[in-house]
Every structure is written in C-alpha cells, then in structure tokens.
Structure 1
C-alpha cells in the first residue's frame, strides 16, 4: 500500500518533530515544494559549522561542503551568505536507489543555509515524504523514516540556541 505525501507528511515529520522538540528547535513543516525550512538564530557559517559537527559526530559522510557566498566573492560577485552541505549514508541511499535509481538525482542529502534580505539565517532540506512521492516510493520505507529522523535531529542541533 502506497500512501500519498499529504497522508504521510505528519508521519515523515514525526521523527523530525520529536527530535527537534528534544533540543527545543522550532516546529518543522514542509512547504508546497517539499522543502522543510528552519529559522536559525546563528549566522550562516555558525549554523553550518554546527550542522557539520552534528553530522561528523554521528559518523555520517560529508561528500561536499560548498560555500556559495565565498565562491561568488572570489569572482568579485555580491551574494548573501549561502552555504550547502551534501552528506549521506549508503545504509539509507542504497536501498532507495535499488528501489528507484532516479532518486539518485536527490541523493545524497543536501542542506542549504542562507541569509535573507533582513539578515535572518534559514536552513532548508527536502522533506523525505516529498522525495518518496516524487520518486513513486512508499514514504514509510525504513530508509525514509531514518532520513526524516536524522535530518530532524541534525538540523535541530544546527539551529538550537
């Protein structure tokens, strides 16, 4: 039985909400484009440093650390602080890619932090339930549940006060 994203959104975010409640982070909600956005009280660089530390502490592989803002500045271009981390684990990704190789376009996991026009830092990532729907996979698959829980825990640590 495959449930729709709308039906599974509360389930997919349950692990993330539980994890974020444990560290007093704001409640999570995916938008219409499948993005979960969190407000951070820290700068972009501090938010990403905190996220990176949480990822490394959990033993998850960081595949890329891309500082878009610094890259733009190196080319004498102005851009607000924007930073992307790409990370993951074959324990989560491999079963999903066996089920549908096209999900590899969305894996490994990506989390981006940026500063908006008001100086507020934001953190965003793809809602695992959205990825499941996008790729025609059941959102209640164990890898999606693990992804939701880990993303909730890791991002909550990045934005906690």
Structure 2
C-alpha cells in the first residue's frame, strides 16, 4: 500500500475515534445530570433533524406515531419565546397494554414520549422516561419485568439510531 494511503487511513481512523469518543462522552455527561427517572442523551443533530430521524426510525420499526407536540410553536402562538422543544408520542399497544393490565396507573405514562429540545448552550438533547423507574413508580412488583426490559432496550436502540452521527 502506498505510504500516503496508509497515512490517510490512519488519519481517518483517528478522526473517527475522536468523533466517537466525543459523542459517547457527551452522552455520558448528559445522563449524569439527568433528572431522576429520565434517560437523557445528546444529539449531534438539530432538534428538527433529530425529530425527523426519530420518526423515520419509528416508521421503519412499525411503531405507532400518535402525535407531536410543538411546545415552541405553541409558545409563539401566545407571544412567548421558547427554544425548540418537541414531544413525540409513540408506542406499541402489544407492549404497553400488558403493563396497564399489571397496574392501570401505567396508563398515565403510556404511550411513550420522547422529548427533544435545544438546551441553553444551543445543543440538542433528548429524554425519555426510564421504564425501570416507571415500574417502581407504579409499583409493578415484578409484574411486567420482561416487558420493562424489552421497552428499555427498544428505547435505547431507537434513540441511538436517531442520534447516530
């Protein structure tokens, strides 16, 4: 292999590694400062782009998209300023219904919601309710444990796909 190709590949690998390290560090910092019961992640994309990407992931996975609440647009409608702030409401009744069968109060937290917002520093963040936290909040006491694990993994995968560089 030509020396310049080796150098180019090495530089590309270094940049990819640095980008990945920054991305995962930013996510770790965001999660460390998250309010109790929320999983918070940083997105390298704008609020609009993160929302669009997340909705495409939902569609690809066959999940229901129920609504999007545009808090920033609603604020502007009454003459108030709010940085971009959106809530995407989505879910899968096959997964959520068994949790409500365990404890009907789960219905207050279902369907799932994803908050996407621009923070004070101009960075895009997203957050969702930690399913394990909700299990404790609604005192499921072992009922729905497998569903909660499934939901946790699915939310992690869905959001990671939306915020991938």
Q: TM-score, normalised by structure 2?
A: 0.77
Whether the aligned pair in 2 keeps the contact of 1:128 and 1:139 (CA below 8 Å) is: no
Aligned residue among 94, 98, 113 for 2:97: 94
Deviating above 6 A after TM superposition, structure 1's stretches of 4 or more consecutive aligned residues are none
Q: How does 1:65-80 map to 2 (within 5 A)?
A: 65-80=68-83
**How far is the alpha carbon of 1:140 from its aligned partner?**
6.5
Higher alpha-carbon Rg: 2
Give the RMSD, CA atoms, in angstroms: 1.9
Cα distance change on mapping 1:139 and 1:127 into 2, 3 Å: farther
> SS state of the match for residue 51, structure 2?
helix
Does residue 135 of the first structure (1) align with residue 156 of the second (2)? no
Whether the aligned pair in 2 keeps the contact of 1:96 and 1:103 (CA below 8 Å) is: yes
User: How far apart, CA to CA, are the structure 1 residues paired with 2:75 and 2:39?
Assistant: 25
Gaps in structure 1 of 5+ consecutive residues = 1-23
Larger relative contact order (CA 8 Å, sep ≥ 6) = 1
**How far is the alpha carbon of 1:75 from its aligned partner?**
2.6
Stretch moving more, 29-38 or 65-74: 29-38
**Aligned pair count?**
138
